[in-house]
Chain A
Amino acid sequence: MTNLMSRNDLLLFAGFTLVVLTMPIWLAPFGAGYPDLLQRFMIFGIFAVGFNILFGLTGYLSFGHAAFFGVGSYAAVWSFKLLTLDAIPAILFAVIISGLFALVIGYLCLRRSGIYFSILTLAFAQMSYNLAYSVLTPITNGETGLQLTLNDPRSLDAVLGQSVAGQPVPNLLGQPLSGYAGFYFCAGFLILAFFLAQRIAGSPFGMMLKAIKSNQTRMQFTGFNTRPYALSAFVISGMYAGLAGALLAVTDPLAGAERMQWTASGEVVLMTILGGVGTLIGPVIGAWLIKYFENILSALNDQILARFWSFLPDGAADTMVAITGKFVGDGWFLTLGLVFVIVVIFLPGGIMEGVRRIAGMFRRRSGSSPATRTQPAE
C-alpha cells in the first residue's frame, strides 16, 4: 500500500475508518448512538465529501446539488419498484442516473464561472424541484412522494420467485437493512467514498483541480483544457450526491420533492464551509455536527427548557425559557445561522482551521516551526 498512499494518508484513512465503525459506541453518551441518526450521519457525510470534490478542489460553488441527491432517491425507489428490493442494483442505478443528470447540467452551467455558475446551478435545481413537485407527477408522484406498494411489478424479484408479505422494504441479498445493519451498510459506503476522495485529492487529476481553483488563466496558458477537468469534478460530485440520495431511499424508501429544494442544496454548502472547505475530514465533521444539532435542538420544547432552567428564580427562569425557546424546535435554524456566522468570521477555514491552529500552538511549544511548509491534505 505504501506506494499507493503516503504514510500520512494511510494513517488518516485508518483513523477515519476506526472512528466511523465505532460510532455506535462513542456516540452513545451524547444521545446519538441509535441507528436512525447514525445512518443520516453516514449519508450526509457522503453528500458533503462529494460536494467538496467540486467546491473544495475546483472552487466552483454549486447551489443545486440537492437536485442530484433527489434524482438518486427517485432512481433508487424506481429500482425497488420495477426491478428488485435488493439495495445494490438500486444504488448502481441511482449513481448512473445522477451522473448522467450531472453531466447535462454541468455541461451547461460550466460555460460560466463564479457567481454566474452558482446562479445557474440554483436555477437548474429549482427547475428540477418544480418538475418533481408537479410537472413530472407520473414519475415522482408529486406532493405525496414516491413510495413502495405491494402491487409494484419488481420484475427481477418475480423472476426469482421472491414475494413479500406486508409492506415491502429494501434488503441486501435477502437480509433486512433496518437498524444497525443499515448503519453498517451506509458506513461501508462512507468509508469507500472517503477513500476515493482521498485518492482523487492526492492524484495528478486532483492537483489540476486545485490549480483550476488557484489560477484558471495560468492553467489555460499551461496547455490544459480546464472545461473537461471541471466537468469531471462536477459529475463525480453529482454521483456522490446520487449515492447519498439512494442510501437515504434504502433506509427509508420514500422519495419526496422537498429533498431537491434549495434549502437542501444550501445545507450541504453550510456543512462543507462549517467543517473546512478543501479538507477531506472537514466536510464530514460539518455534516455530522449539523445533523447532530438538528436532531437534538429540534426535539427540544418549552417544557424541557423549563425543567432545564428550573434552578433559577421563577421570573428569571421564564425569561430564559422565552429566550432560549426561540433557538430550539423549529427555531433551530436560528442557532445554525448564529454558529455559521461565528465560524465564518472567526475561523474562515472552518473547524479544521481551528484544529490546525490548536495543533500549531502545541507544535510551537515543542520548538519546531514548520510555518513555511505547505499543508498536506487533511
Chain B
Amino acid sequence: MTNPNVVLHVADVHKRFGGLHALADIDLQVEEGKTHAIIGPNGAGKSTLLNVIIGKLAPSSGQVVFDGAVLTGRKPFQINQLGIARVFQTPEIFADLSVLHNVMIPALAKRDGMFKLNMLRALDSETGIRAEAEDMLEDVGMLARRDMLAGSLSRGDKRRMELAMCLIQHPRLLLLDEPTAGMSRHDTNTTIELLQKIKARGMTKVIIEHDMHVVFSLADKISVLAQGRIIADGSPDEVRGNPKVQEAYLGGTH
C-alpha cells in the first residue's frame, strides 16, 4: 500500500467458479472519504467482487485489506465490527419488527459488540439508543413511520431504512450494492439525494451500480469491470471518454 490514504485494498484477487474465471487479477484501491463506484455490464463480476470484500465469498487467491486488517477469512459479523456496513441489492431488513427497532438493533451492535446476554434489562430503558435511532430516522425522513412494521414499507422506504440501519453504526466504509435497483424514477432520485447528503459527511463508500445517472451523480472515482477484469480506472470524466469502456458497454451484452 503505497498511498497512505488508501483504506480498502483489494490486492490481486482471483475468483474461480469451476472453469469460470469470475474475477481475474483485481487490484482496487479505495481512498478514505471517497465514493468509489464499480460499474460494468451484466455478468461482469460486480456482485462477486462485493461478496469477496464483505466475506460472503472466499477469493481463490489474493486478499482484501481494510485499514491494515486482512478481511479474507473473517466472518460477516467480524467484518462489520471492524466498521464496514452493507446495503443489499434487495433490502435486507427485519420485516417483522417496527422501523424504530430495525434501526435500534444496529446501534446496539455498535455499542455492545457481537454478543451480550442482557436479558434482564428492559429495552424501554435504552433511552439513549432510542433517541439516536429517532435522530437517524429524522435524517432519512422516516420518523413519522417509526412504529410501522418494516415489512409493510414501500421499496423506496425499505431502502431508506436500510441506509439508516447502516449509517447509525457510523461505519468507516459503506458498501452499496445497486442501491436503486428496481426503484421508480422518483424513489431513485430521493435515494440519490440521500446518498449525496451522506457524501457530505465524508464517509468512504463503494457503490456498485448499473444506472449511469446514479453513478455520475455520486462517484469521485470509477472502476469499470468487464468479464472479471478491471478495464479502466479513474475520475468520472476520464472513464466517460475512455474508448475501451464505450466498447465494453456498446459491444457487450448490455
Contacts and interface: CB of A to CB of B under 8 A. Distances in A.
A214 B97 contact: yes
B94 A205 contact: no
Contact of A221 (B92, B95, B98, B125): B92
A4 B122 contact: yes
A373 B118 CA distance: 26
Contact of B124 (A202, A205, A211, A215): A202
B114 interface: yes
A211 B88 CA distance: 17
B114 A211 contact: no
B231 interface: no
A221 B108 contact: no
B147 A374 contact: yes
Contacts of A206: 119, 123
A222 B165 contact: yes
B116 A205 contact: yes
Given A215-B95, A221-B54, A222-B105, A203 B148 contact: no
A223 B109 contact: yes
Contacts of A229: 115
Residue in A207, A224, A232 whose Cβ sees the most chain B Cβ within 10 Å:
A224
Given A204-B126, A211-B94, A218-B94, A225 B119 contact: no
Contacts of A223: 77, 80-81, 106, 109-110, 113-114, 169
B79 to A, nearest CB: 8
B20 interface: no
A210 interface: yes
Contacts of B112: 204
B75 interface: yes
B149 interface: yes
B1 to A, nearest CB: 25
Interface string A1-26: 00111100000000000000000000
B200 interface: no
Contacts of B88: 221
Nearest to B124: A6
Contacts of B80: 220-223
A131 interface: no
A185 B81 CA distance: 47
B118 A205 contact: yes
Contacts of A232: 117, 119
B221 interface: no
Given A214-B96, A223-B169, A372 B117 contact: no
Interface in A190-211: 199-200, 202-208, 210-211
Contacts of A211: 94, 97, 101, 105
B124 A374 contact: no
Contacts of B98: 374
Contacts, number: 118
Contacts of A236: 119
B121 interface: yes
B200 to A, nearest CB: 25
B143 to A, nearest CB: 14
- Interface residue tally on B, bucketed by range: 35 or more
Given A223-B169, A372-B148, A204 B116 contact: yes
Contact of A205 (B75, B109, B114, B119): B119
A279 to B, nearest CB: 13
Residue in B104, B109, B125 whose Cβ sees the most chain A Cβ within 10 Å:
B109
B77 A224 contact: yes
A215 B117 contact: no
B118 to A, nearest CB: 5
Contacts of B81: 223
Nearest to A225: B114
A64 B126 CA distance: 36
Contact of A203 (B85, B118, B147, B152): B118
B120 interface: yes
A179 interface: no
A134 interface: no
A307 B75 CA distance: 68
A228 interface: yes
A319 interface: no
B76 interface: yes
A218 B92 contact: yes
B93 interface: yes
A3 B96 contact: no
A256 to B, nearest CB: 33
Chain A to chain B: the 9 pairs with minimum beta-carbon distance, closest first: A223-B80, A205-B119, A223-B109, A214-B94, A225-B114, A218-B92, A220-B76, A214-B96, A374-B98
Interface of A: 3-6, 199-200, 202-208, 210-211, 213-215, 217-226, 228-229, 232, 236, 372-374
24 contacts: A199-B120, A199-B122, A202-B124, A203-B122, A204-B116, A205-B116, A207-B97, A211-B101, A214-B97, A215-B92, A215-B94, A220-B77, A221-B54, A221-B85, A221-B88, A222-B80, A222-B169, A223-B77, A223-B106, A223-B110, A223-B114, A223-B169, A225-B115, A373-B147
Interface of B: 54, 75-77, 80-81, 85-86, 88, 92-98, 101, 104-106, 108-110, 112-126, 147-149, 152, 165, 169
